[in-house]
Amino acid sequence: MLAKRVIPCLDVKDGRVVKGTEFLQLRDAGDPVELAAFYDGESADELVFLDITASHEQRKTIIEMAARVAEQVFIPFTVGGGISSINDIRNILLAGADKTSVNSAAVKTPRLIAEGAEMFGSQCIVVAVDARRRDKLDPSRGWEVYINGGRVPAGLDVLEWVATVEKLGAGEILLTSMDRDGTKEGYDNELNRAVSETVGIPVISSGGAGNLKHLADGIKLGKADAVLAASIFHYREYTIKQAKEFLAGEQIVVRN
């Protein structure tokens, strides 16, 4: 049986991992390579690196990082954040990343998804979608797509947008609830389920995981294929192993 995936997300700034690095017993927990190898050893199924480098000049560092990770870590990894052109996608994949995630640029230039998929294969193109409820208390009013780090409404309906990106050739959807992100209240599983039932490509649930039950809910209630979390792993509230054991106890198929 295909296993559901558990994916730690690492924020990278100027080539260094930020957030939570002081909690890990590593020589240099700010080093993306060392951290990636650590999570691989703990049986993380994949890794997502999100480049939050502000300045354009520093963008080179993420490519160098991808190359170094690819030399030491042999599980799939995605690099996203600030990708704006087919050239960015090419550089990151050639450096050794398995997938790139595109967000704002895909909304502004949807053709980027089609060109990326055509050139490198759908499996390399993850479309990140930041979603916010139109009405916090009423999911039946739907969700709106946000861009630029969740600050700007894109004027698109989430369910229409995910159907479009699937048609354009996206390989997976990394779906973040802006309402839940950082709250630790659990994923927006109405959102996850609505998107999972709309598309035939895998959906990665993100935004709001605060405990292990939330991960299980993302899969069972949200129908997600993978669950992504940051702080619960980085601050060692739970190890990946504990997460896998909990999910297995909930009758969810995971890789041990």
CB 63 to other proteins: min, Å:
13
Kindly write out the interface string for residues 209-238 of this chain, putting x where it contacts other proteins by CB under 8 A and - elsewhere: ----------------xx------------
Among the residue ranges 38-46, 146-154, 205-213, 227-235, the one whose residues contact other proteins (CB under 8 A): 38-46
Residue 153 interacts with other proteins (CB under 8 A): yes or no? no
Set 11, 31, 45, 225: catalytic member: 11
In whole angstroms, give the CA distance from residue 205 to residue 139.
Answer: 17
Residue 98 interacts with other proteins (CB under 8 A): yes or no? yes
CB 91 to other proteins: min, Å:
11
Q: Is 51 a catalytic residue?
A: no
Residue 206 interacts with other proteins (CB under 8 A): yes or no? no
Are 245 and 217 contacting, i.e. CB atoms less than 8 angstroms apart? no
Q: Which amino acid is it at 175? A: L
Q: Contact with other proteins (CB under 8 A): which of 16, 59, 76, 150?
A: 76
Residue 40 interacts with other proteins (CB under 8 A): yes or no? yes
Q: Is 179 a catalytic residue?
A: no
Of residues 26 and 119, the one with the C-beta less far from other proteins: 119
Read off the tokens for 207: 């935004």
Q: Contact with other proteins (CB under 8 A): which of 23, 64, 121, 182?
A: 121
**Which residues are marked as active site?**
11, 130
Q: What residue ranges bind other proteins (CB under 8 A)?
A: 1-5, 40, 43, 45, 70-72, 74-76, 93-94, 96, 98, 120-123, 171-172, 200-202, 225-226, 255-256
